């Protein structure tokens, strides 16, 4: 008797991955089953045929033919599997979560509207579950939401702010400008820098306070900085605009005192760390007391596994080859 293996790559599965159609097409191709209209879900025929032909491409000419035949899907697939241009993929996915129209998404990232639609259908299918915050949080965002995230995980930050706050907040987060202006006089240039500084502090302050495992001293300093900026801003407003210089002087003084780096990377590189814990901290994030205790007994915290696994460390052989022969 032939057993049919259960799969999460189905439309009605509660834990389906966002690229379930692409994965399902791979399963059907590898097993030789093919697509059955009465059994497989919608939008499977086209992606199955595309994947089958893609697997058979062995020369540039056939790839061009495939690209012309399936232009939208080919563009979407190219973005999906391109590890070099991570930002484009992350922006498209964040904008889908922000419920932007496919035409608006396409216009912002310079692709065809059909390619944006194909990306959602085959590689990031979430629009039918945007009203299920539990699914989005656990299946799309993942453990970093609870275990803590860092600003280097910008793709997750974009998705979270896009989903919960919408396209306008996402624009400011991705493009780093909330209220851009084009000053035309010397006086307006000065006002521009002050406004831009305050907007940047507000944005980074909000992001830092969401990064749970960030160094507690840095969190407190930036939190105090943000509150001080609000206080000075309020006082300046009540005095008819007087006080901008005081804002900048106080903010600059606090910025100089912030402990931006725990180690002097100009003297020692991350690969020269004496311990694994030191290496992790020198590469960009600190560990909490409980996590440090687990490292000391040789059991790295499971919550940090996804960060450690994604870290790129120098190849010892490359380092040895770079050293001059004695």
| 318 occurs within a structural domain | no
| 14 occurs within a structural domain | no
| 210 occurs within a structural domain | yes
Residues 6+ apart with CB under 8 A from 97: 126, 130, 136, 140, 159, 162, 163
For residues 206 and 149, state if they share a domain.
no
What is the distance between the alpha carbons of residues 39 and 37, in angstroms, rounded to a whole number? Answer: 6
Domain end among 257, 287, 303: 257
pLDDT for 76 equals: 97
Phi first, then psi: give them for residue 62, nearest 5 degrees: -65, -30
- The token pair at 65 is 């033919």
For residues 31 and 157, state if they share a domain.
yes
From start to end of the chain, where are the E strands?
Answer: none
| 10 occurs within a structural domain | no
Q: What is the DSSP letter of 212?
A: T
What is the chain's length? 326
Given phi > 0 = left and psi -120 to 50 = alpha, else beta, which region is 32? left
Residues 281 and 287 sit within 8 Å (Cβ to Cβ): yes
For residue 155, count other CB atoms closer than 10 A to its CB.
Answer: 15
| 94 occurs within a structural domain | yes
For residues 183 and 150, state if they share a domain.
no
For residues 73 and 119, state if they share a domain.
yes
| 265 occurs within a structural domain | no
For residues 137 and 198, state if they share a domain.
no
pLDDT for 17 equals: 95
For residues 65 and 144, state if they share a domain.
yes
Phi first, then psi: give them for residue 152, nearest 5 degrees: -70, -20
| DSSP collapsed to 3 states, 114-173 | HHHHHHHHHCCCCHHHCCCHHHHHHHHHCCHHHHCCCCCCHHHHHHHHHHHHCHHHHHHH
How many structural domains is the chain composed of?
Answer: 3
| 129 occurs within a structural domain | yes
For residues 157 and 72, state if they share a domain.
yes
pLDDT for 123 equals: 97
For residues 159 and 219, state if they share a domain.
no
Domain end among 110, 138, 164: 164
pLDDT for 1 equals: 37
Q: Which residue has the tokens 């210089």?
A: 245
Residues of the chain with pLDDT under 70: 1-6, 36-42, 147-152, 209, 211-223, 225-226, 229, 232-233, 236-293, 295-298, 300-326
Q: Which residue has the tokens 């608006």?
A: 104
Range(s) of the domain holding residue 85: 20-164
For residues 204 and 91, state if they share a domain.
no
Domain end among 99, 129, 164: 164
Q: What is the DSSP letter of 240?
A: T
For residue 115, count other CB atoms closer than 10 A to its CB.
Answer: 22
- The token pair at 83 is 């590890």
Task: Of 121, 30, 44, give the one whose Cα is nearest residue 77.
Answer: 121
For residues 27 and 131, state if they share a domain.
yes
What is the distance between the alpha carbons of residues 170 and 180, in angstroms, rounded to a whole number? Answer: 15
| 241 occurs within a structural domain | yes
Residues 193 and 201 sit within 8 Å (Cβ to Cβ): no
pLDDT for 147 equals: 64
For residues 149 and 34, state if they share a domain.
yes
For residues 239 and 155, state if they share a domain.
no
Over residues 128-185, the pLDDT tens digits come to: 999 999 999 999 998 777 766 665 678 888 999 999 999 999 999 999 887 777 888 8
pLDDT for 278 equals: 60
């Amino acid at each position: 008797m032939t057993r049919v293996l259960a799969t999460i790559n189905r439309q009605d599965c509660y834990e389906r991955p966002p690229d379930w159609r692409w994965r399902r097409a791979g399963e059907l191709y590898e097993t030789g089953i093919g697509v059955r209209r009465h059994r497989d879900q919608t939008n499977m025929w086209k992606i199955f045929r595309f994947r089958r032909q893609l697997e058979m491409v062995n020369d540039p000419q056939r790839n061009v033919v495939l690209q012309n035949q399936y232009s939208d899907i080919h563009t979407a697939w190219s973005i999906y599997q391109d590890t070099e241009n991570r930002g484009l993929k992350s922006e498209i996915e964040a904008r889908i979560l922000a419920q932007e129209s496919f035409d608006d998404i396409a216009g912002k990232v310079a692709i065809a509207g059909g390619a944006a639609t194909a990306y959602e259908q085959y590689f990031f299918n979430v629009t039918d579950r945007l009203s299920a915050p539990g699914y989005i949080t656990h299946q799309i965002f993942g453990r970093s939401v609870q275990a803590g995230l860092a600003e280097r995980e910008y793709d997750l930050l974009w998705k979270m702010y896009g989903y919960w706050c919408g396209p306008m907040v996402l624009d400011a987060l991705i493009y780093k400008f909330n209220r851009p202006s084009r000053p035309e006089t010397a006086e307006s240039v000065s006002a521009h820098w002050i406004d831009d500084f305050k907007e940047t502090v507000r944005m980074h302050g909000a992001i830092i306070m969401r990064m749970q495992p960030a160094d507690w001293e840095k969190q407190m300093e930036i939190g105090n900085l943000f509150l001080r900026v609000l206080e000075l801003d309020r006082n300046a407003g009540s005095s008819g605009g007087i006080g901008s210089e005081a804002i900048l002087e106080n903010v600059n003084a606090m910025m100089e005192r912030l402990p931006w780096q725990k180690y002097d990377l100009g003297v020692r590189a991350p690969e020269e760390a004496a311990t694994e814990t030191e290496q992790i901290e020198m590469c960009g994030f600190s560990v909490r007391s409980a996590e440090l205790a687990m490292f000391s007994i040789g059991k790295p915290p499971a919550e940090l596994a996804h960060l450690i696994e994604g870290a790129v460390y120098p190849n010892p052989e490359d380092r040895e080859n770079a050293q001059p022969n004695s």
